[in-house]
Amino acid sequence: MIAMMAATGQEIEGISRCLKKRRLNADGCRAWRGEYKSKEVLTVQMGIGRNMAEGALAWVLASFTPEALISLGFGGALNERLRIGDLIICAKASSGDRSLESCQADAHLTECALRAVKGNGRKWLAGNSVTVSRLHCDAGTRQKLAEKVRADVCEMEDYWLACAAGAKGIPFLSVRVIYDEIDASLPGFERMVDARGNVRPGGIAAHLFTHPRQLLKMWGSYRDCRRAQASLAAFTEKFLDTM
């Protein structure tokens, strides 16, 4: 079994398009058991941040014995060359706390991912991710982070998943797709998506009520999300073909 984990429903929608799947009863997360050709695949919407990621993975490890753990999802660019939809094959996941050692990706999974992206017409980069403890939604905060760390993309779960997988001897890989470029800001993201990674319609309405001029920016964010989803979906199918 290959376990594929993502934080939000939008990310899960992208990575599970190619799967035939059924919903499972899961503790504290949403999960589906499916198949792609002859491969058994578990997809998990774990929620946002360390606590949600570790809780979801604890359920996975208590219920299944995955042969590989893949973290897939959106990320914020820390590299000015990266654009929406670009893929980052993360050779290393580090923590925003620089006193902690980085985690290396599994060599075989990395090679499978590189085979999946080569020649498919999408821009990709073999790079590194940094796991942060809070959302970096505005351009200024992300640019300051880029000056402090040696990473190409920021996210909120990979380092903790990599540590837990390593402790169990499970091969791990993270692949991120750029959702927001380094000079972009996400309007009101914290109000629109809850900790479990689900969209909050009431939060969207409340944000637009207090920030009506951001309606067009919201439409742009939706368009960017669809582009990132398409990139993630195309990669997932190619990646599963290589394994």
User: Nearest-CA neighbor of 175 among 151, 153, 203?
Assistant: 153
Q: How far is CA 28 from the centre of its chain?
A: 18
Instruction: Indicate whether 173 pLDDT > 80.
Output: yes
Beta-bridged to residue 103, according to DSSP, are: 93
What pLDDT is recorded for position 206? 67
Return mean pLDDT, the chain: 90
Count of structural domains, the chain: 1
Q: What is the rounded CA–CA span in Å between residue 116 and residue 98?
A: 31
Least confident of 26-30, 185-189, 198-202: 185-189
| Residue 212 DSSP label | G
pTM: 0.91
Beta carbons of 52 and 46 less than 8 angstroms apart: yes
Q: Tell me the per-residue pLDDT of 91-137, one tens digit each, with 9 for 90 and over.
A: 999 998 877 899 999 999 999 999 999 877 889 999 999 999 887 76
What pLDDT is recorded for position 238? 95
What pLDDT is recorded for position 214? 66
Q: What is the CATH number of the domain that holds 192?
A: 3.40.50.1580
Q: What is the CA radius of gyration of the chain?
A: 17
For residue 178, the enclosing domain spans: 2-242
Confidence of residue 219 (pLDDT cuts 50, 70, 90): low
What pLDDT is recorded for position 24? 96
Beta carbons of 2 and 243 less than 8 angstroms apart: yes
User: Residue 101: phi, psi to the nearest 5?
Assistant: -75, 150
Q: What is residue 87's three-state secondary structure? A: strand
What pLDDT is recorded for position 198? 78
- Counting every residue written for the chain, the total comes to 243
What pLDDT is recorded for position 221? 76
Beta carbons of 154 and 82 less than 8 angstroms apart: no
Q: Tell me the per-residue pLDDT of 15-26, one tens digit each, with 9 for 90 and over.
A: 999 999 999 999
What pLDDT is recorded for position 211? 65
What pLDDT is recorded for position 217? 66
Instruction: Indicate whether 190 pLDDT > 90.
Output: no
What pLDDT is recorded for position 141? 84
